[in-house]
Structure 1
């Protein structure tokens, strides 16, 4: 077996020991059924002692026997769909492969990953083919013998059917549901063999939290938004570890949204708890996000250089910029990965989980959402207006640049506050969020220009004589770009400033 990553789409069915097999040829699109093949599979499942993976529907196993022996990690995508990562067996059967550990460390954190169950399966498989020879799916008749490895150890045996798509359509599964239901067999209520093998130890899924309502408690608005963003942070953690495109950016955005919401809605929760969380989230976003800052500035500068006439590029400017950012990217990635492996990060995740599981709410949190949340969002809008009024529209000094950056941060906080309020305010809040986002984008371009100019001065100071001309020219172009984004901001503010929320 070679290492791979595939989307697994399958359905499992509860079956009695003496039940007869269905007539598979009657499934829609199935022309012929391959002769059955028997396999003996032996799988050991790994998790933390607290079953952190199982609580999220994740399975991690080492399996021998059959055509796909190796390590298997399955991450839930949707009902009946899981992303499956496979890695070849190594010399140490108890050592989870490094890549698979990385992919689940946001859940296992610094806890040991240990064997929690062993399942032995006698499998009979038949492949289903279409008339044109396409392999549609594999049908498996499994007889399972399981033993939990956590005290007290328990054993169980059962039989189940499984149909897993290969190149067949999802409609084939609907056809299987109908065919099997006609003989009294229905899809299993449990998501995996491990869930059934663990029995009473398998973590019960949490009941869905009530969504925000205009006349419901204000806390529901905050908690709903935080749940979304904490989940986003966890979902992007593996991508950062794997160096996936845009993962750093998305993780940092999630951390900033959480931090911003805790600030905007600070009156709804214990200030000591939210203050500590905000401090740690600032550390996380700043540390992991350095890699993103480098990506943005590198792309900006190389685009600027690429647009210049060749005769105006004197000296090895492009090469110097590439070398600068290569070294910076290496340092930033190492720093970000160190943060994601740290006890500090794991305790932040613990604290976020604890906050959502048992939120330290204030009396204000129980008040009606519409007026309470409306006032808190409006406070952010008023803060933004006050900062804009204090700006000098004619000044382009470093102090003026810094003031514009503060306005940008306030616009971002207003945007996130309006996003959080959208479930109860609807279009009014989403319109406010878009207006704040436009301001944020204009001033983001302005800030990127200011930071890029600082770097160009730094590079020019150590550049050979001929390169100084090009650095100076690039600096002048960035000054023009900064002025243009500044002009766009003041124009957007004059023509369509963020409108107030109304709830009475």
Structure 2
């Protein structure tokens, strides 16, 4: 699997880097009001969850569940803010440029901006709170190699764990991607999530056991995932607008414009299924390790 003369990194080092990413992203959110700051924290938390899942057999048995639950909780809070930023920047701003005099659209934008302000304030308070401090402290425990089970010292066991998990993730993705042309939005999201998990596992594996084959696989997998970003963003916009519509009067102009924006966003996705299938075949045609 590995290239010649390469020694594996201890997973404690890998997870210490992940916790550093989360710390940096927390500081980014604290000082910056933008999509990028929320997205950086979202990605860092996703890497934490992926690392905890991959390395579960190497960690104390009572460690993972509590930390995973807290990471999932915080990721939900971060993603909600991130998606409201996305709705405002990528959907509402272009619509307001095209229809500057539309009162319903203006009201919807004001509603979204107020929600962004509220979500941002709430998230910053959470990031400074005891619950997140406890999460960070538990995560930092993994930075000490002595915290890990003795198996984490074994190159052979680590490599075996990575290979087994890679194969499991690939099989899950294969199952979701069997009928790409017929995937509805929900099934497409499941396929994308399985690809994302596969990518995270491959990235951790590459960090510990550098391999030209894994590097090539990751490069091709990134192309596939990039082709699905528009579909994911359309789902996020739909979810956030449907959330806001709960507070709108039935039949109101604002509710109508929100519904039209959902339709327009989803219609614009225009997934090229032939290209998607081609990228998928090219990805699974490469060796994982």
State the TM-score bracket (shorter-chain normalisation). 0.7 to 0.9
CA distance in 2, matches of 1:342, 1:447: 30
Contact 1:270–1:361 (Cα < 8 Å) also in 2: yes
Find the counterpart in structure 1 of residue 82 from structure 2. 292
Find the counterpart in structure 1 of residue 220 from structure 2. 435
Question: Could you say if the C-alpha distance between residues 436 and 467 of structure 1 is closer, same or farther in structure 2, counting changes exceeding 3 Å?
Answer: same
From the CA coordinates, give the structure whose radius of gyration is larger. Answer: 1
Once the two structures are overlaid, the 10-residue window that deviates more, 258-267 or 343-352, is 258-267
Residues 178-257 of structure 1 mapped to structure 2, 5 A cutoff: 216=7, 220-243=9-32, 245=34, 246-257=36-47
Contact 2:87–2:240 (Cα < 8 Å) also in 1: no
Question: Could you say if the C-alpha distance between residues 224 and 438 of structure 1 is closer, same or farther in structure 2, counting changes exceeding 3 Å?
Answer: farther
**Which residue, 317, 332, 347 being the options, matches 2:134?**
347
CA distance in 2, matches of 1:492, 1:303: 32
**Which residue, 154, 160, 169 being the options, matches 1:380?**
169
CA RMSD of aligned residues (A): 3.2
Per-residue CA deviations over 1:411-432 (Å, capped at 9, x if unaligned) read 1121122222224233322222
Contact 1:439–1:489 (Cα < 8 Å) also in 2: yes
Per-residue CA deviations over 1:315-345 (Å, capped at 9, x if unaligned) read 4243123112112112211221121122111
Contact 1:268–1:364 (Cα < 8 Å) also in 2: yes
Find the counterpart in structure 1 of residue 192 from structure 2. 408
Per-residue CA deviations over 1:289-334 (Å, capped at 9, x if unaligned) read 32212111211212551575x5xx8842431231121121122112
The structure carrying a bigger helix percent of its residues is 2
The structure carrying a bigger strand percent of its residues is 1
- Structure 2: unaligned runs, 5 residues or longer: none
Question: Could you say if the C-alpha distance between residues 261 and 487 of structure 1 is closer, same or farther in structure 2, counting changes exceeding 3 Å?
Answer: farther
CA distance in 1, matches of 2:257, 2:24: 43
Find the counterpart in structure 2 of residue 446 from structure 1. 231
Contact 1:446–1:486 (Cα < 8 Å) also in 2: no
Per-residue CA deviations over 1:456-482 (Å, capped at 9, x if unaligned) read 566596487666775565444323223
How far did residue 450 of structure 1 move? 2.6
Find the counterpart in structure 2 of residue 46 from structure 1. none
TM-score (ref. length: structure 1): 0.49
- Choose between structure 1 and 2 for higher RCO, CA contacts under 8 A separated by at least 6 residues: 2
Find the counterpart in structure 2 of residue 330 from structure 1. 117
Contact 1:315–1:464 (Cα < 8 Å) also in 2: no
**How many residues align structurally?**
281
Find the counterpart in structure 2 of residue 419 from structure 1. 203
Question: Could you say if the C-alpha distance between residues 324 and 254 of structure 1 is closer, same or farther in structure 2, counting changes exceeding 3 Å?
Answer: same
CA distance in 2, matches of 1:339, 1:321: 27
Find the counterpart in structure 2 of residue 134 from structure 1. none
Contact 2:231–2:266 (Cα < 8 Å) also in 1: no
